[in-house]
Amino acid sequence: MQKKSWGTMLLALAMVVSLTACGGTNSAPASGEQSSESASKTDGGGTWKIGAVLELTGKSSVWGVPQRDAIQMAVEQINANGGINGKQLELIVYDNESNETKSLVAAKKLVSQDEVLAIIGASTTPTTMPLIPYVTQEEVPLVSVGSGDEIVQPVEERKWIFKTPSNNRDISVRIAEYLKEKGKTKVAFISVNNAYGDSGKQAFEKVAQEYGIEIIGAEKFGATDNDMKPQLTRIKSLNPDAVIVWAIPPAASIVNRNFWELKMDSMLIYSSGAGANAFVELAGEAAEGTYMATGKIWVVDQLPDDDPQKATIQNYVKAYEERYNSKPSPIDGMAYDAALLVAEAIKQAAAGGEVTRATIRDGLEKVNNLVGLTGIFNTSPDNHQGLKPEDIVMLQVQNGKWVLAP
């Protein structure tokens, strides 16, 4: 299969050839699985065996469940199109319950018990960070769906780590550009009190300084908090032009509702971490007018026909809706992209003559113009993420729907 066919293969979705992942927390090993040392370092016998560690339950399940669905669909499509070099992908999924310790336990199970060639996950920055030293030691390629820049930086210490969500710096640049366009120079920042929120704050502070934007207040809240009005009340007293939020649902939606209840009139702008369908569903009418810097899935029909991602995204949206009878989102798109990157790396490794964890890692570092849902990926030894600020669009909720922000 040629590289450019990953996008068009969506049109050929017709059958499921081999897939062991299921809606729960794990799956049984495939028939023909090899348990030898060589199997763990090369291929999985009759299949290319890959694993995923995702937040299928717990506070971040609004991310993990649709991401599992997207990865499963990608594997089904690849297998339905003949697999990779005639071999099927085999996917094993474990639930980390949105817990950092259980995320590491799941990764160890995939490596030592299931002997996977590569791992996708985890879904968030806090549940990815514990995996980094382990997969580095075991020399297993990992493609995270977490957003924090520190997941792939410094790159010289992240030889085995890659990710698909846009970097917090790139998201910050896109937000800063939009603020400048609107003449907004004084903002407040509020974030979830974990590695994701901290990473976003650090990135935005640097970019804001570069763009001449003053951060006049900063607040934090817990990931399981259910009332952020005290923090927002302090921000309201500062009268910022805009409030920047770094959080994921459901906490992100609570910030939105509290903002609305306090009748605040600043611009309210979210990072892509809030880009799950659950965000607007949970925020309800309070979401009206809210901005977000994220990918293009929600507004694909508003893109110009010459947008290089439009056809790929349209095919994905159609296939996802038919497969799951629900709407896709930028969040599940990031996971789908992770599956595409792993498949592309296996294809490169197979073309080189030997598929091992090491050759897959090398392939992940050489992805060239892969049109995904989150953007167009170009990785290198110095860039284990491969996107740019131009892959991000500013959206706004108008009449309950996301539109390109005016």
Which pLDDT tens digits describe the chain residue by residue (406 residues)?
334 344 444 433 333 323 333 333 333 333 223 332 333 344 556 899 999 999 999 988 888 999 999 999 999 999 999 999 999 999 999 999 999 999 999 999 999 999 999 999 999 999 999 999 999 999 999 999 998 889 999 999 999 999 999 999 999 999 999 999 999 999 999 999 988 899 899 999 999 999 999 999 999 999 889 999 999 999 999 999 999 999 988 899 999 999 999 999 999 999 988 888 888 888 989 999 999 999 999 999 999 999 999 999 999 999 999 999 999 999 999 999 999 999 999 999 999 989 999 999 999 999 999 999 999 999 999 999 999 999 999 999 999 899 999 9
Rounded distance between C-alpha atoms, residue 15 and residue 228, angstroms: 47
Closest C-alpha among 2, 83, 7, 99 to residue 48: 83
How would DSSP label each residue in 133-174? HHHHHHT--EEE----GGGT-SGGG-TTEEE-SPPHHHHHHH
> For position 43, what pLDDT does the model report?
53
> Which helix H or strand E contains 200, and what residues bound it?
helix 195-210
> For position 275, what pLDDT does the model report?
83
Rounded distance between C-alpha atoms, residue 179 and residue 228, angstroms: 24
Q: Which two tokens stand for residue 39?
A: 């199997």
> For position 59, what pLDDT does the model report?
86
> For position 196, what pLDDT does the model report?
87
Rounded distance between C-alpha atoms, residue 391 and residue 240, angstroms: 28
- The count of other CB atoms within 10 Å of the CB of residue 260 is 18
> For position 2, what pLDDT does the model report?
37
Q: Which residues contact 383 (CB under 8 A, 6 or more apart)?
A: 155
> For position 107, what pLDDT does the model report?
98
Rounded distance between C-alpha atoms, residue 381 and residue 22, angstroms: 34
Rg of the chain on CA atoms, in Å:
20
Closest C-alpha among 240, 222, 287, 291 to residue 261: 287
State pTM to two decimals: 0.85
